[in-house]
Amino acid sequence: MSAKPIVNTRLHHNAHVTTDMAAVREFYEDVIGFPLVATWCEKTDLFGKVRTYMHCFFEIGDGECLAFFQFQDEEDQQEFGPELPLSGFRHLAMKVDQEAQDGIRDRLAAAGYEAPDTYILNHGYCQSLYVFDPAKLLIEFTVDCEDMEQINAERKADAHSELERWLAGDHSPNNEAYHR
């Protein structure tokens, strides 16, 4: 398999829908520390109907943002923001250092966020702090382990063969990071 070029890009924003922008703003700006950098108030024809909504952007670093929509009309809100089942597998992961993760953990606790809304999981290759935001989006703040470069090199070297092995029916674990 020939190597394909890596596209030189970065995240502009990752968008979600909320029914409570005030709570989302407080969570991301006051508790987590992601500043609100833009609020767009819009009324436009989308998908065959004029819709009124706001779109808020919270910077996560280097100009990259989390964005949230809130609609004026309840019918529009339901069409574009149906509740998704809560799932630990549907989440957004943010890479942070240990100091940032500790600070977020402490601010979450001070703001009243506690289990089961927050939890820490050691994956072996990283340790993650998880929290559901007011829009029910699961956010992960992850700190890589010290030998992450070596682990990444190993996983990159066998990424295709491990995928093929799994798809062929061999579901045995390959996460030795837990045992280092």
Does residue 131 have a pLDDT over 60?
Answer: yes
Does residue 53 have a pLDDT over 80?
Answer: yes
Q: Is residue 111 situated within a structural domain?
A: yes
Between residues 155 and 60, the one the model is more confident about: 60
Average pLDDT of the residues of the chain: 86
Q: 129, 135, 67, 138: which is closest to 104 by C-alpha?
A: 129
137 & 160 share domain: no
26 & 52 share domain: yes
Q: Side chain identity at 80, as an amino acid letter?
A: F
100 & 159 share domain: no
Confirm if 131 and 118 have CB atoms less than 8 A apart.
yes
pLDDT at res. 84: 66
Alpha helices by DSSP H, listed for 26-147, are 74-80, 98-110
> Domain range holding 157?
148-179
